[in-house]
Structures are given as structure tokens and as C-alpha cells.
Copies of this chain bind each other. A is one copy, B any other.
Amino acid sequence: MSAYLKSNIMSFSQIQASNLRDQVADQIRSAIIEGRLRPNDHIVEAELTAQLGVSRTPVREALILLEQDGLVVSYPYRGSFVRNFTPQDVKDIFSMRTVLENFAAELIIDRLTNEEYNHLDQLIEAQRQAIAIGDLRQIRSIDMNFHHFIVSCSQHSLLIRNWKQIVAQIFAVLHIRAWAIPNYDEYKAIRDHLAILNAYKQRDLPTLMSLNREINERVAGECVYSVEQKGSA
């Protein structure tokens, strides 16, 4: 395996937050993405201070980061809350994701190597096994890795950065979908990924772009439905 490919594959886990700010941000981000913190939950700085054993300074700085990431909203002298996505928010997020992933596709479709195809094949297989076991957290993780690997192949740091932000928001929304649609067919993602990978192998950009659009619009629809359900419940 080439050094480039390896670093690409590892780019999710190799990140190590040096300062407390980033560590705290990662903790809160995980809590939101994994659904332990729910939309509109009040994030009280003093509580995190106690729970994490750090002072308010890094906690506050972490919350600033998360607000920039669109996972948290803050109001002056009232505090920070887990962002509650409106149907319009969800539509916007998924439409932006489509735009970014189509841009990535345009950049890489003629440059992907067999090694990279193989890695994507393996990820699909791993996700299939995670679904068989029923490990939802693992399913989500591999799913994200599939798309992240593709986007990171572009080596377009700005694109990768913006995509990561969007996807973090999407994962927060996917938890709402999981609550609203308990028996969601996770194998849909497998079929989607196979179709995407096939389009890449065929180097068929138009098909790939409409695939991206259709998939994202379908999932967006599911999430909008879920958000509306939650609002009326």
C-alpha cells in the first residue's frame, strides 16, 4: 500500500488534539453526533467544567468552535444549546453536501487508482458486516469513512474541511432519523455505495453526479420527515 493511500486511510484516527480546547470540542462533538446530547439541550459551561475536570476557559473556546461548525447555537448571556435543525436547514445541508461531493467527483474521477477502488470495496464489505451485527455506531462510522475517503482523495483541503463540517451536521440529523424511523433499512446505504463506486469505476461523471443528487435528496427527505415528526411530537 502506498504511503499516500495509507495516510489517506488513516486521516481520521491520526488526529490528536494537543490542547484542552480541541479535546473538549471533540468530546462535545461526539456527544452530539452520537445522540447523547439532543437538539435544544442546554450546554452549561459549569457542568462540563465539572464533568471534564477542566476550567471554563477551554470549555468556552470549544463551544465557540462548535458554533462555527454549526452544531451549537449560542445566545448572549443565555448560553449554548445543541442546534435544532429546521426542515429548511436539513434541505440546505444536504444540497450543499451534494454540491461538495459532486465537486470532489469532478476532481478525482479520472485519477482514482485500483488501490483506492479496493479500499472502497473493503469499506462496503465492512459496513455490510456491521449491519449484520447491528452495530449502529460502527455502521455510521464506516459510512462516513466511505465518503470521507472519496472526498479526501481530492487533496483539496478547503473542500475536505467544508465537507467535514457538513457531514458532522448530517450525522447529528441522522440520529433524529433513527428515532423517527426505528427500523430503517441500513442496507440502502450499501446499495447506494455500490452504485457510487461503480460509477467511479466506469468514470461516468454525469451518472455519478445524478446519483449523488438522488441519494442526498432521498436521505434529506427522510430526515426532513423525521425532523417534522419530532416537532409535532
B92 near A159 with CB under 8 A, answer yes
Q: Chain B residue with minimal CB distance to A165?
A: B162
A156 surroundings in chain B (CB, below 8 A): 92, 95-96
A157 surroundings in chain B (CB, below 8 A): 89, 92
Q: Chain B residue with minimal CB distance to A98?
A: B103
**A142: CB under 8 A from chain B?**
no
Partner of A64, one of B65, B96, B99, B159: B65
Q: Mark A13-32, 1 if CB is under 8 A from B, else 0.
A: 00000110100000000000
Most B CB contacts (10 A, CB to CB) among A21, A65, A92, A157 go to: A92
CB A208 to nearest CB in B, in angstroms, measures 16
Q: How many residues of A contact B (CB 8 A)?
A: 25
Partner of A96, one of B68, B89, B158, B166: B158
Partner of A162, one of B60, B64, B65, B162: B162
B99 near A103 with CB under 8 A, answer yes
Q: Mark A32-55, 1 if CB is under 8 A from B, else 0.
A: 000000000000000000000000
**A76: CB under 8 A from chain B?**
yes
The residues of A with any CB-CB pair to B shorter than 8 Å are: 18-19, 21, 57, 60-61, 64-65, 68, 70, 76, 89, 92-93, 95-96, 99-100, 103, 156-159, 162, 166
